[in-house]
Structure 1
């Protein structure tokens, strides 16, 4: 589950992951908890359903566990809501259910320079401890140093086996051109409506994000990209 504060790049990371999972031949399904329809471009390429985690919507995911047909489930959650998320985990016995169905939960959290990201992560680790995997995405659109995270949370994350990947910065006008196409990212670097120099940067941006994952054996495992099938749940908060 990708988790975190608002406007830190959760939907962007979700789109990039969909592209990567598709190139690796993974059977995936996406549940969109956000009401802003940011994943509309992918509705023709992967199954996407709306979900409300806080009003009984998780029964849909339990049905997927029973079917045992998917390699990866992505849940794109809205920003913030850390208290509700932790309450849901406790009330639903989520970790026991995951063990029973032989799935594993990965929290995927993009971070910015804001201290709120660190507070969010701290609360999540305190509640989930070793019952989940953790992947921090350093979104370099905001910073390259992440001092607050390094000083107060990086060590604690390592203690629970967490790992880090990088979302490289993409110039704002390039990103806006990418989003305006309304197409999956993997189609945008061949879209002639975008300046060719922009397309070159977009292509390299996507490749660099993928390489950040594929060069990290822990991230490969936590994100379900190894050869073991149906052992990971990746959700996006």
Structure 2
């Protein structure tokens, strides 16, 4: 089970979509729960089962039912940004970690980060709550900054202590990203989308490829994200 957590508008839904396509290539059976009301995952509804959910209104029992299903390899949960306090409270009160362990599931927190110090605070809260009972994958989103000096100095050592790892999402020009999102199709289909300039499509294709390479060249990320 993989939860995206952290700040708002740092690329959580973007990373979810990129991962869905990697899972598709590996024929993984994926279920997605979307806590966001902005329908950012709508373009993928024909590729995977996507359901709306509200973790804070006692709608989560059906997720625990999925833990005993034979037809699911990966459960992706796109959590809302800036709700780390509530997320941590839910983890504790629902005894989530013990429940997952009972059914043989692992939990991975997937957190894209930007230049904002809030990202460090949110990650620290999650680690303090779950400790060594969960896995952690930080996504350095270079759209926001060319370097992560404060994170590298203040947070990275703590991440490594609990066995966490990092992957990279390289920068994509804002115009290219907006054109890709406006197309309303899975990212992998953008290469054939004639409404987008061919030159832009080539940059988007390389952006997708670099993310996949970052994931698949990292053995811990492969393990924590349930990949082969």
Choose from 151, 170, 173 the match for 1:171.
Answer: 173
| 1:14-33 equivalent positions in 2, closer than 5 A | 14-33=16-35
| 1:186-225 equivalent positions in 2, closer than 5 A | 186-225=188-227
| 1:1-237 equivalent positions in 2, closer than 5 A | 1-226=3-228
Q: TM-score, normalised on structure 1?
A: 0.94
Gaps of 5+ in 2: none
Q: TM-score, normalised on structure 2?
A: 0.98
Secondary structure of 1:144 counterpart: coil
The C-alpha deviation readout for 1:193-214, integer Å capped at 9, x for no partner, is 1100000000000000000000
Gaps of 5+ in 1: 227-237
Looking at structure 2, the residues matched to 209 and 189 of structure 1 have their Cα atoms a distance apart, in angstroms, of: 16
The C-alpha deviation readout for 1:45-96, integer Å capped at 9, x for no partner, is 1100001111112111111112232110000111110110010011000111
Kindly indicate whether structure 1 or structure 2 has the higher relative contact order, using CA contacts under 8 Å at least 6 residues apart: 1
The C-alpha deviation readout for 1:111-141, integer Å capped at 9, x for no partner, is 0000000000111111110010000000000
Query: For the aligned residues, what is the CA RMSD?
Result: 0.7
Secondary structure of 2:192 counterpart: coil
Secondary structure of 1:48 counterpart: strand
The C-alpha deviation readout for 1:148-175, integer Å capped at 9, x for no partner, is 1111100000000000000010000000
Looking at structure 2, the residues matched to 59 and 189 of structure 1 have their Cα atoms a distance apart, in angstroms, of: 39
Looking at structure 2, the residues matched to 57 and 175 of structure 1 have their Cα atoms a distance apart, in angstroms, of: 33
Q: Deviation of residue 144 (structure 1)?
A: 2.4
Looking at structure 2, the residues matched to 69 and 200 of structure 1 have their Cα atoms a distance apart, in angstroms, of: 36
Matching residue of 1:235: none
Secondary structure of 2:194 counterpart: coil
Looking at structure 1, the residues matched to 55 and 155 of structure 2 have their Cα atoms a distance apart, in angstroms, of: 27
